[in-house]
Amino acid sequence: MLNLVIFGAPGSGKGTQSDLLSEKYGLFHISTGDVLREKIKNQTELGKKAEEIISKGQLIPDELMIDILLKVMSDQPEAKGFIFDGFPRTLPQAEALSEMLQKNDNDIAAVIALTVDENELVNRLLKRGEVSGRTDDNLETIQKRLTVYRNQTEPLIGFYKQVGIFHGIDGIGTIDHISGQISAIIEAL
């Protein structure tokens, strides 16, 4: 099983690159943001709660998020591997993910992080906000998302460096060029 984490700030290109990778390597792409937006669309109880949190740019509580992820994974028993996009975002989530995988003798092969400066992130998200309909793609919420990323998610870089599976790449450039760099990392694993 090949499991990859595509890591990066809001707007860094996680979703874009994960879509390409899942196609190329036949891996199952889990975007926790997409999973939550689907629940919002269906206006489930959980969806209503998530909607409020997401539109404020905050994180869904860890326990809840871990349960959701576990369910998505267990619904895919045939998967050749997973691409985790937007998960983990906190240390407890990172620990839970390793635990879940290790229970079945699996692990994360690589954490691939896309580095993009904040000006570019804001520009990308504002541009997407013109058409995405995402309640969190407005300047105020984008800034909150970036602060949450810096405080709660960025520390995972140190964690994964220590584990020895961290790979950072420049997330600025053409989508194809970035995708090529990610493929090179995967093929060298």
Q: Which position's Cβ is nearest ligand AP5?
A: 33
Which residues of the shown chain bind ligand AP5 in the complex (CB under 6 A)? 8, 10-16, 31-33, 36, 53-54, 57-60, 65, 86-87, 89, 93, 124, 128, 136, 145, 173, 175, 178
Decide whether 105 or 124 has the Cβ nearer to ligand AP5. 124
Angle in degrees, CA 151, 154, 156, rounded to 5:
115
Active site residue: 49, 56, 128, 144, which one? 128
177-180 own/partner pairs: CB under 8 Å, 24+ apart: 178/13, 178/17, 178/114, 179/17, 179/20, 179/21
Rounded Cα distance between 189 and 184, Å, is 9
Taking a C-beta distance cutoff of 8 angstroms, is the pair 85, 32 a contact?
A: yes
Other C-beta atoms closer than 10 Å to the C-beta of 79 total: 16
Strands 28-31 and 82-85: parallel
150 belongs to the catalytic site = no
Size of the residue set binding Mg ion (CB under 5 A): 1
Task: Decide if residue 129 touches Mg ion (CB under 5 A).
Answer: no
Tell which one of 15, 47, 129, 173 touches Mg ion (CB under 5 A): 15
Active site residue: 49, 56, 134, 144, which one? 134
124 belongs to the catalytic site = no
**Cα distance between the two ends of the chain:** 13
Active site residue: 14, 37, 39, 124, which one? 14
State how far Cα 133 lies from the chain centre.
19
80 belongs to the catalytic site = no
Active site residue: 37, 39, 124, 145, which one? 145
Q: Which does 20 bind (CB under 5 to 8 A by kind): ligand AP5, Mg ion, none?
A: none
Q: Which does 124 bind (CB under 5 to 8 A by kind): Mg ion, ligand AP5, none?
A: ligand AP5
Tell me: cis bond preceding 88? Omega within 30 of 0 counts: yes
Q: Where do contacts with Mg ion occur on this chain (CB under 5 A)?
A: 15
Q: Which residues belong to the active site?
A: 14, 89, 128, 134, 145
